[in-house]
Amino acid sequence: MTGLKKNLDLTLEHKRMAIEPGNNQISICRQCELLGLSRSSLYYKPCRDTQYNEQLMKLIDKQYIETPFYGIAKMTEWLARQGHCVNHKRVRRLMRQMGLEAVYPRRKRGLSLQDKQHKIYPYLLRDVQITRPDQVWSADITYVRMYRGWLYLVAVMDWFSRYVLSWELSVTLESEFCISALKHALSFGKPQIFNTDQGSQFTSNDFTDILKAADIQISMDGKGRVFDNIFIERLWRTVKVEEVYLRDYETVTEARYYLGRYFDLYNNKRLHQALGYRTPAEVYDAADGTPVALRAPSVPSALTYGDESTLNTSVFCLDNG
């Protein structure tokens, strides 16, 4: 039998399939011994914890807004206090998947990862006084939780007025939804300087060529400069606290509807203390006409203007199939 065991070159799955639970002549214990299979391997069932991971991601995302200085160890301990005793390795993996890292005086890990083959442009905004609309625009990507799964949201913002010029949703981190948001924003004007991080979506030639063709100066956050794009980072906090965390989007269409409605509120009705209790639209001088932030692609006009009866209607777009 020893020679038989040595000659059996089977995978773990094949060994498990070879076991005959109904064999009355050879016990399961003896079959495992003959196959060189441990009893624990026979009865082990892979843990399908996708739903639990999504639950953890929702908790981590919400807590990160409150305590962005929490690293892996503190976030793991905080989860344990909420009754989720999970390994720090899982917390690290989930935070990386969400693009979250504790805010230290260095560049945080972003959702958009750098492509070393792309050209990196210098940061042009150090000590620059922002004195007017369309002087500086910026773009960034953030994670948006859903009831099941998550989406990625990109927005283009005017720094001076905090006006959200365009936004887009995607189920992937491909560059197309960033390019779409850029094109929509440029259809209403153009800035002197456009600032982003060094993520591959923004350093790609497809993205930067559009800026260069429009004669726009390209600026990118420097390494170790976590606050280089601070205005849009504050936007993400506001959007999540005032909109995303209040709902559990069931579909991409539902997320588009409610985010579109929120950006309308943000641009045209929400008073900003930093703007002297004016709205971004009042400062940007865009109060007349259709709000730019609602001109997101693939959103039917009924959704744009708040007809909730269309929420259950299927919407075809490139990033939700």
Domain tally for the chain?
3
Q: How far apart are CA 100 and CA 233, in angstroms?
A: 12
Say which residue, 108 or 134, is predicted with more confidence: 134
Convert the pLDDT of each residue in 65-78 to its tens digit: 888 878 898 899 99
Residue 154 sits in the same domain as residue 302: yes
In SS3 terms, the chain reads as CHHHHHHCCCCHHHHHHHCCCCCCCCCHHHHHHHHCCCHHHHHCCCCCCHHHHHHHHHHHHHHHHHCCCCCHHHHHHHHHHCCCCCCHHHHHHHHHHHCCCCCCCCCCCCCCCCCCCCCCCCCCCCCCCCCCCCCEEEEEEEEEECCCCEEEEEEEEECCCCCEEEEEEECCCCCHHHHHHHHHHHCCCCCCEEEECCCHHHHCHHHHHHHHHCCCEEEECCCCCCCCCHHHHHHHHHHHHHCHHHCCCCCHHHHHHHHHHHHHHHHHCCCEHHHCCECHHHHHCCCCCCCHHHCCCCCCHHHHCCCHHHCCCCCCCCCCC
- Domain match, 59 and 163 both: no
User: Are residue 214 and residue 250 in the same domain, yes or no?
Assistant: yes
Q: Are residues 151 and 273 in the same domain?
A: yes
Confidence of residue 114 (pLDDT cuts 50, 70, 90): low
Query: Using 50, 70 and 90 to split pLDDT, how confident is the model at 300?
Result: very low
In a domain, 109, yes or no: no
Judgement on whether residues 20 and 64 belong to the same structural domain of the protein: no
Question: Are 63 and 143 in the same domain?
Answer: no
Q: Would residue 108 count as lying in a domain?
A: no
Q: Is residue 107 part of a domain?
A: no
92 and 191 co-located in one domain: no
141 falls within a domain:
yes
| pLDDT value at residue 190 | 95
Would you state the pLDDT for residue 35? 84
Same domain, 164 and 192: yes
Least confident of 3-7, 107-111, 172-176, 293-297: 293-297
CATH code for position 155: 3.30.420.10
Mean pLDDT of 213-226: 81
Q: Is residue 265 part of a domain?
A: yes
Per the structure, the complete domain to which residue 72 belongs is given by: 50-98
In this prediction, residue 310 carries a pLDDT of 41
Give a yes or no: residue 190 inside a domain: yes
The pLDDT tens digits for 245-288 are 888 899 999 999 999 999 999 999 999 988 999 999 999 984 44
One domain for residues 286 and 162: yes
Q: Tens digits of per-residue pLDDT, 158-177?
A: 999 999 999 999 998 889 99
Tell me the pTM. 0.63
Q: Compute the distance between CA of residue 1 and CA of residue 135 in angstroms, rounded to an integer.
A: 81
Residue 320 covered by a domain: no
Task: Indicate if the pLDDT at residue 216 is higher than 80.
Answer: yes
Residue 123 included in any domain: no
Whether residue 251 sits in one domain with residue 158: yes
